[in-house]
Structure 1
Amino acid sequence: MKNTFNIHEVSNLLDVSIPKLLLWEKKNKLVPTEKDTNGINIYLKNQLVDFPIAKDVFESKWDEEIKIKPLGSYNSIELFAGAGGMALGFEKAGIHHVLLNEIDKFSCSTLRKNRPEWNVIEDDIKNLDFKKYANKVEIVTGGFPCQSFSAAGKKLGFEDTRGTLFFEFARCIKEVQPKIFVGENVKGLFHHDKGRTLQVIKDTIHELGYTLIEPRVLKAMYYKVPQKRERLFLIGIRNDLAEKNNDFKFPAPYKKVLTLTDAFKKGDLFDNDVPESIGDMYPARKKEILDFVPQGGYWKDLPDDLQREFMQRSYFLGGGKTGLARRLSMTAPSLTLVCSPSMKQTERCHPLETRPLTIRESARIQTFPDEWEFVGPKSQAYKQIGNAVPVNLAWSVARSIIDYLNKINVDNRKNTKTILQSESV
């Protein structure tokens, strides 16, 4: 681990904007020790260790954790599987999928195209019967959509979730009785419907006989993903197992924060530069305007006359609106990818060229391997990628799941050995 970091690296490491770091400098909160030959602020490692995330990265156990392998065959059911980000990450960790359910036909075609051996069920989850998998599957995973529960605040239990897709996720858990489950969702679930949605979920999990690990938001950029995507993880352990072993550990961060350079160029993530692929293009006038936006910039970096033309009435409304006319930077992780790469409200312009990201560039930001093909029209490929869980984030979580299941296996073997020894006496 090196001992000096430039302002771009510190911005990425602490997930703090460069303007904020410059403000910290004025307030003597974090003052650079020197400047390089280009006038860029330089900081020492020992200046950063007081920040918890920097300390975690500097002391990362990533290299130890990637050695974690299953002590046995661990099977999973994946619900709301999408284009396979979560499933691919769990497979990479050594978990075997016995069923993947998804209702979108293009996503199902993508799964079948890339993994013809997977058991992909293209159907509404409400039509599936999971009873035949009872006590045969260790893990159930799923990124269920977040909806309000009409009965929230009344009974607050399993029945209150009827009519929502979380109910179907919970029904699968009830029928299968896995040892552990992983629910994945947007960070906003914490405050959705004034916190009532999460409370119903917690009460339901308790009613199902599972112990919920305190929900945690994981930032993908700390798990070998060159993207600032944040996802909330709900991990539940069956009560009979949680009582014996309650030291579940979330994954350690990677040793550094990766950027778009890592996504597009040969290096830590990929063995070659990003291959060419299809992608959207901007209308001529929009391209002319965005040509004026620098790397990492947005509409306020335009000349005033172009700001007015591009923003129209929004120009007078105030506020940051930092997603508008936004160009990414090669020296930073990507902003969270969206399903349409050229939406005006959430622009994701290529750092070096004035165009949206291509399919393969987008897929690399989500850490899909280059050989993973997305089936369907271009718009559907973008949608599949934008909705996915980053593969490496899922891989990191899967290792934590395997580590916990391994501990249960070891405990069971010890208990069995003790019983056999006592019986032989």
Structure 2
Amino acid sequence: MNELELLAQNLIAQNEKDQQNKLEEDKALIKKLVEIYDQKYVAEALRAVSHNDWTRETLNRWLNGKTAQKPFTALEVKMLNRLLPEPPKNHPNYNFRFIDLFAGIGGIRKGFEDIGGQCVFTSEWNKDAVRTYKANWYCDSQNHKFNSDIREITLSDNDKISEQEAYDNIDREIPDHDVLLAGFPCQPFSLAGVSKKNSLGRAHGFECETQGTLFFDVARIIASKKPAIFLLENVKNLKSHDKGNTFRVIMNTLDELGYIVSDAEHIGSDDPKVIDGKHFLPQHRERIVLVGFRRDLNIDKGFTLRNIKNSYPSRRPTIHEILDEKVENKYILSPLLWKYLYNYAKKHQAKGNGFGFGMVYPENPESVARTLSARYHKDGSEILIDRGWDMNLGEIDFDDKNNQENRPRRLTPRECARLMGFESPTGTQFRIPVSDTQAYRQFGNSVVVPVFAAVAKLLEPYIAKAIEQDKKKKVA
């Protein structure tokens, strides 16, 4: 073999290797996308920039090696990458690290990324919520871990595991972080089995009182990782659940773990820990926010959630501004459903119980919606958009054509995204890769994004102090 033949052979071998690597990269990209989007949607994206007639079927055969695999063109790869979230503006120069527990679709995360934080761990068990989360938030596989069931990390569902073994597993599985975020679900605190555990000498303190709840998993993570600061979010009724016993246990637990909770002394109606989203967007949505500082850092002085009022927008967006000019007819209530809701409201008005639905009026700049809930997909009754129906609950002819043309409608998922602050009408669109039903559930279970962006902004200087204090402790 002469010199040219040897050179050619090497080049051919290298080209084959490069092509194989390219195919593996393309396949990895497609696998990442079909975890988020329907294969039909991915095929449509490819067809938009390709001469190939991609379909759900041809894409599936390509992915499973049942047809000849050709590398994607540069334009196709560019299009596919556009379907994935871009790194945040601070990437890779982050100021601090945080984790996102019970993350939902990431409503709390945005504010902490905006102040320079890097999310290094996310936990969310709902598969559809994970799709939406991954479609919108950058999850670097090298510097970010994704977990589904947090109990796989805390080992709280395994009675044969000792507390120390659980803490050790948490320490291995969850990266070190400065801030812990958790919108944990509120479950009844069960004391069943406590006596037995005490007799075995196993449970003590919060390990006893909070066992069996998802707050217990958060507490175990705090106990193991000892973040400088945490932010916990829940419904306002957490304070009154079980005549206040649930909230008492939570506050005592956080104190036992060595944390000072901001505004802990306020328990009345004027509680700064309860924040209403209506100050930022036209939706009445009260949530309790618990911000805790590790006691040994001594950095909590001066922090109060009362100062969030300084972040209220000078002008709150109106209902009209978050609505689309035209929507599909499927979002207008059917004649049968509207008749039922209307008569239901009429019946309850006669009993003095108020309306059975919540109507908002786009032409009224002061109109504020009720709280969007996860059940919104059922009938949309808590937030109906007025389209000119006469709201005098008298005798109405439901067969009248003019009346029927003005039936109210429900919000679209895109409008829900705006009502929750995930996007603005003129800003970057929030990706919704799931069905309308799942989207309504996800937005109804989420938080008003600008509320937590404002809390993050309040915390920014305290996070900096915490990192500085931790550095000093490590040097000492």
TM-score, length of structure 1 as denominator length = 0.67
Q: Which has the larger radius of gyration?
A: 2
Taking CA–CA contacts closer than 8 Å with sequence separation of 6 or more, which of the two structures ends up with the larger relative contact order?
A: 1
Could you list the per-position Cα deviations for residues 99-156 of structure 1 after superposition, in whole angstroms to 9, with x for gaps in the alignment?
Answer: 1100000111111122353536242110024303778310011111112212399976
Name the structure 1 match of 2:136: 114
1:282 to 333, 354, 370: 333
CA contact (8 A) 1:138 1:178 kept: yes
Say whether residues 1:335 and 2:335 are aligned partners: no
In 2: Cα distance, 1:74 partner to 1:406 partner: 8
2:103 to 81, 90, 96: 81
Structure 1 stretch 252-261 or stretch 88-97: which is displaced more? 252-261
Could you list the per-position Cα deviations for residues 145-199 of structure 1 after superposition, in whole angstroms to 9, with x for gaps in the alignment?
Answer: 1122123999763321111000001111111110000100011111110000011
Deviation at 1:238, TM superposition (A): 0.7
2:292 to 236, 251, 261: 236
CA contact (8 A) 2:299 2:465 kept: no
Name the structure 1 match of 2:88: none
Counterparts of 1:199-238 in structure 2, within 5 Å, are 199-215=248-264, 216-222=273-279, 224-238=280-294
Partner amino acid, structure 2, of 1:248: F
Secondary structure of residue in 2 paired with 1:150: coil
Name the structure 2 match of 1:385: 443
Deviation at 1:412, TM superposition (A): 7.5
Partner amino acid, structure 1, of 2:218: F
Deviation at 1:220, TM superposition (A): 1.4
Could you list the per-position Cα deviations for residues 284-339 of structure 1 after superposition, in whole angstroms to 9, with x for gaps in the alignment?
Answer: 2344x59xxxxxxxx8xxxxxxx6x334865664322x4x2321133223221112
Deviation at 1:72, TM superposition (A): 6.3
CA contact (8 A) 2:277 2:451 kept: yes
Deviation at 1:262, TM superposition (A): 6.4
Say whether residues 1:140 and 2:180 are aligned partners: yes
Q: CA 1:313–1:328 in structure 2 vs 1: closer, same or farther (change >3 Å)?
A: closer
CA contact (8 A) 1:220 1:393 kept: yes
In 1: Cα distance, 2:304 partner to 2:349 partner: 47
1:249 to 296, 304, 307: 304
1:169 to 207, 218, 230: 218
Say whether residues 1:325 and 2:367 are aligned partners: no
Name the structure 2 match of 1:349: 384
Secondary structure of residue in 2 paired with 1:127: helix
Q: CA 1:175–1:408 in structure 2 vs 1: closer, same or farther (change >3 Å)?
A: closer
Q: CA 1:131–1:262 in structure 2 vs 1: closer, same or farther (change >3 Å)?
A: farther
In 2: Cα distance, 1:97 partner to 1:133 partner: 15
Deviation at 1:411, TM superposition (A): 6.5
Q: CA 1:389–1:182 in structure 2 vs 1: closer, same or farther (change >3 Å)?
A: same
Structure 1 stretch 336-345 or stretch 349-358: which is displaced more? 336-345
Name the structure 2 match of 1:131: 171
In 2: Cα distance, 1:381 partner to 1:285 partner: 24
In 2: Cα distance, 1:363 partner to 1:280 partner: 15
Secondary structure of residue in 1 paired with 2:108: helix
Give the number of aligned pairs. 319
Secondary structure of residue in 2 paired with 1:389: coil
Partner amino acid, structure 2, of 1:356: R
Secondary structure of residue in 1 paired with 2:376: coil
Name the structure 1 match of 2:116: 94
Q: CA 1:199–1:412 in structure 2 vs 1: closer, same or farther (change >3 Å)?
A: closer
Partner amino acid, structure 2, of 1:247: G
Could you list the per-position Cα deviations for residues 56-111 of structure 1 after superposition, in whole angstroms to 9, with x for gaps in the alignment?
Answer: xxxxxxxxxxxxxxx96211111000011111232223221001100000111111
Q: CA 1:156–1:260 in structure 2 vs 1: closer, same or farther (change >3 Å)?
A: farther
Name the structure 1 match of 2:268: none
CA contact (8 A) 2:284 2:370 kept: yes
Partner amino acid, structure 2, of 1:318: G
Partner amino acid, structure 2, of 1:246: K
CA contact (8 A) 1:110 1:373 kept: yes
Q: CA 1:397–1:275 in structure 2 vs 1: closer, same or farther (change >3 Å)?
A: farther
Could you list the per-position Cα deviations for residues 250-294 of structure 1 after superposition, in whole angstroms to 9, with x for gaps in the alignment?
Answer: 2333143524346427xxxxxxx678679644222344x59xxxx
Name the structure 2 match of 1:407: 465
In 2: Cα distance, 1:148 partner to 1:142 partner: 18
In 1: Cα distance, 2:147 partner to 2:221 partner: 16
Aligned CA-pair RMSD = 3.3
In 1: Cα distance, 2:464 partner to 2:151 partner: 32
Q: Percent identity?
A: 29
Secondary structure of residue in 1 paired with 2:216: helix
In 2: Cα distance, 1:156 partner to 1:184 partner: 22
Structure 1 stretch 151-160 or stretch 403-412: which is displaced more? 151-160
Gaps of 5+ in 2: 1-92, 154-168, 196-203, 265-272, 388-405
Name the structure 1 match of 2:127: 105
Partner amino acid, structure 2, of 1:196: N
Q: CA 1:377–1:180 in structure 2 vs 1: closer, same or farther (change >3 Å)?
A: same
Deviation at 1:374, TM superposition (A): 2.1
CA contact (8 A) 1:340 1:379 kept: no
Q: CA 1:246–1:318 in structure 2 vs 1: closer, same or farther (change >3 Å)?
A: same
